[in-house]
Amino acid sequence: MPQVFAWSDRECLDFMVEVRFGSWNTVGCPHCGTTGKHYWRPLQKRWKCAGCGSTFSVTSGTVFASRKLSLQTIIAGTLLWLNSAGGQPALELKRHLNVTYNTAYTLQHKLREALVRGYNQGPLAGDLEMDGAHQSGRRAAEKRGKPQGSRPVTSETPLEELSSILTQAGKQKAKRKGPPKGVVDPEYGRRLPEDRRIVMVVRQRSGKKGKGANGTRVAIAMAETATEAEGILATYAAIPESYLNTDSSPAYASVGKSFLAHRTVEHAKELSGPNGENNNQAEEYNWRYDRAEKGIYLNVEPKYMLDYACEVAFRSDTRRLPNGQQLRLALNVATNVGESRFWRGFTRGNHRSHELLHAGPRLAKASGPAKGRLPGLATRAPF
Ligand SMILES: [Zn+2]
């Protein structure tokens, strides 16, 4: 049982002040930015700003603004979320904290949103690796109409079985209405399933043997193309100061020329080239994301994919830190990115309308029944 469950209200407050502001003497007013001691009002548990006179609490202007949860529940919830090393279902957190499912789900997503806006930022430099992994969208859709697996079709296949396979394929094809919607994969020329997205990852090697990567940036793309790779690297890599390591995908060929050097490994032949060419850290991230999506979150909608990808990046980068330090880091990010834009009023129907693709927001498919919409919130811009 984490120690935080035994903390008093005052200890929880002290902890939040420390992770957000550093100390009681360096409190920053979220309204005007004045940093200092301010006037603490113990009954209201709020400061009155010495600069502008407005009042604020330790969670004003953070993703937890207008909270109904106690500080203790927020701190404990964050810690329990981090302690589940591979990811944590909202159902598990609901049971640990004895809150409703929506409360646990929204708390986790506010932490993810903070990582999207406060952690997945800024260029990496040095020895970089990049890769793209196909995620989401049913694989079965690619195989549809083609006999697979345990029923290979050979010249010995009995006629009645063959006809049953063909009729099934025909029926499934007829069921699909309208033209196919997914984009065409530029490398293999196949049409991808409609919900398929590519998680593109840029990782920075730590340079220490056996220590892996120490910085990760992620972005979501519709396909692994040269345009997407260039855009993502322009955002997340200090190109003139860096080396690029990738697999032999054609997406990286032209942008690779702008780097100090571009090393490629041909995965069809080997995992690592004779001179250490590999993108194993990027692959390690892909495996991690894959396990989180398939083993824990089960069905990541494309519109929330970036959030989950950032969560996996944070977990991977902080994997060697003690959990107390992970907690401080996560709460520091969550209290310094401003208020939540995506999860305030979620249970009242204020849902994100767009997918956060790197190339720009894309209108997302509606999901779930619409709840009583607030007229002011529903029409807000996606960012
Ligand atoms: Zn102020």
* 91-103 per-position pLDDT tens digit: 999 999 999 999 9
pLDDT reading at 381 higher than 60: no
If you measure from the C-alpha of residue 364 to the centroid of ligand 1, how many angstroms do you get, rounded to a whole number? Answer: 38
- Percent of the chain whose pLDDT exceeds 70: 86
pLDDT reading at 106 higher than 70: yes
If you measure from the C-alpha of residue 20 to the centroid of ligand 1, how many angstroms do you get, rounded to a whole number? Answer: 16
If you measure from the C-alpha of residue 21 to the centroid of ligand 1, how many angstroms do you get, rounded to a whole number? Answer: 14
Give the range among 41-50, 74-83, 269-278 with minimum mean pLDDT. 269-278
If you measure from the C-alpha of residue 154 to the centroid of ligand 1, how many angstroms do you get, rounded to a whole number? Answer: 77
CA distance 21 to 62: 12
If you measure from the C-alpha of residue 339 to the centroid of ligand 1, how many angstroms do you get, rounded to a whole number? Answer: 17
CA-based end-to-end distance of the chain? 38
Those residues with Cβ within 8 angstroms of residue 378's Cβ, 6 or more apart along the chain or in another chain: 349, 350
pTM confidence score: 0.85
If you measure from the C-alpha of residue 52 to the centroid of ligand 1, how many angstroms do you get, rounded to a whole number? Answer: 4
Q: Which class for 333: exposed (0-12), middle (13-18), buried (19 or more C-beta within 10 A)?
A: buried
* 25 CB neighbour count, 10 Å cutoff: 10
- Percent of the chain whose pLDDT exceeds 90: 63
Most confident of 156-170, 250-264, 364-378: 250-264
Which of the 8 DSSP states describes residue 355?
Answer: E
If you measure from the C-alpha of residue 49 to the centroid of ligand 1, how many angstroms do you get, rounded to a whole number? Answer: 5
Give the range among 247-251, 324-328, 334-338, 365-369 with minimum mean pLDDT. 365-369
CA distance 353 to 345: 14
pLDDT reading at 378 higher than 50: no
If you measure from the C-alpha of residue 58 to the centroid of ligand 1, how many angstroms do you get, rounded to a whole number? Answer: 13
Residues listed for the chain: 383
Most confident of 140-149, 272-281, 289-298: 289-298
CA distance 204 to 237: 9
CA 117-77-9 angle, to 5 degrees, is: 110
Q: Enumerate the β-bridge partners of residue 179.
A: none
Taking only Cα atoms into account, the Rg of the chain, rounded to an integer number of angstroms, comes to 24
If you measure from the C-alpha of residue 51 to the centroid of ligand 1, how many angstroms do you get, rounded to a whole number? Answer: 5
CATH class of 127-136+194-316: alpha beta
Domain positions in the chain: 3-118+322-344, 127-136+194-316
pLDDT band at 179 (very low <50, low <70, confident <90, very high): low
Mean pLDDT score of the chain: 87
Those residues with Cβ within 8 angstroms of residue 193's Cβ, 6 or more apart along the chain or in another chain: 137, 138, 139, 141, 142, 182
